[in-house]
Amino acid sequence: MANIRIGTRASELAVWQAKKVQEKLKKINISSSIVPISSSGDKDLTKPIYELGITGVFTKEIDIALLNKEIDIAVHSLKDVPTILPLGVRQSAVLKRGLEKDVIIINKSLSDVSNTIATGSLRRKAQWLSKYNSDNVVSIRGNVNTRLKKLKESDWNGTIMAKAGLDRLNLLPKNYLDLDWMIPAPAQGAISIQNLVENDVITEIIKKINHAETEICTKIERDFLNKLEGGCTAPIGAHAKIINNYIEFSGIILSIDGRDKIEIRETEKIENNLNIGIKFAEKIIAMGGNKILNSLKNEI
């Protein structure tokens, strides 16, 4: 077919992801071009994401371009994509997931008493405060380069970031620590490709570059998030991985201050993967998750 137009955010990391899709398409002899689009999340860097009051803060403008047929496919960080897609849009592929964990970039030595940690994520903030309740967590916004620059110019002890983004841009510094205990955002590290439901030709092409294992795991995580009615900004973490035909799942929901939390760790046979994200969310709710969810509705 003719050239496929790839819509993406204009940030360096987003363009990197679009180029990764472009490489995959080239391997199956499909030509493409990249169309950068400015998103709401990139325009206002003064407020925390959860205060912008926009569903799909990093995806909305690209989805509009797709629905208007100005682009043929949309490439997103899957963790930024609302769990309910716009009417007429489908996810046709997800690439093999990259590094899914969070890291802390150390700016000043971490103290045993009190630290100032920067993050724009309520999930990271809540989990950090749950573990280190005497620390002070401040807000930080911007793309990867901007946040690293802000950290360097600050007197903060560190900032928490996704390892995948730093790794993809070769910006992972030596002064970082893996936060293996922190449960990542649902679908963190995964790249999603969406197109119009009506375009069967594009759908069949994009399906050829889908990574089935990543699709299964991220669907479980996103079903978990959807059942808990949590948006992309809520302090909810979820991670699924496949080991020896079993799915190992970790899920967490917290109050914003980290004082209240419910965490589960489950193992399930892979053949039972269809609705287990919902099942795990129902377990969280049964353990008292509704109380935390209700408190979040008043705060976010």
Could you tell me which of 223, 138, 169, 209 has the C-alpha nearest to residue 15?
169
80 labelled catalytic = yes
CA distance 136 to 151: 15
The pTM assigned to this predicted structure is 0.90
List the domains of the chain with CATH numbers.
4-95+190-210 (3.40.190.10), 102-178 (3.40.190.10), 225-299 (3.30.160.40)
The residue whose two tokens read 């399930």 is 268
Q: Does residue 206 contact residue 92 with C-beta atoms inside 8 Å?
A: yes
Give residue-wise pLDDT tens across range 26-48: 999 999 999 999 765 444 444 44
Residue from 80, 102, 135, 223 carrying the catalytic annotation: 80
Per-residue pLDDT of the chain (300 residues; tens, 9 = 90+): 679 999 999 889 999 999 999 999 999 999 999 999 976 544 444 444 444 333 456 688 899 999 999 999 999 999 989 999 999 999 999 999 999 999 999 999 998 889 999 999 999 999 999 999 999 999 998 889 999 999 999 999 999 999 999 999 999 999 999 999 999 999 999 999 999 999 999 999 999 999 999 999 999 999 999 999 766 678 999 999 999 999 999 999 999 999 999 999 999 999 988 899 999 999 999 999 888 988 887 765
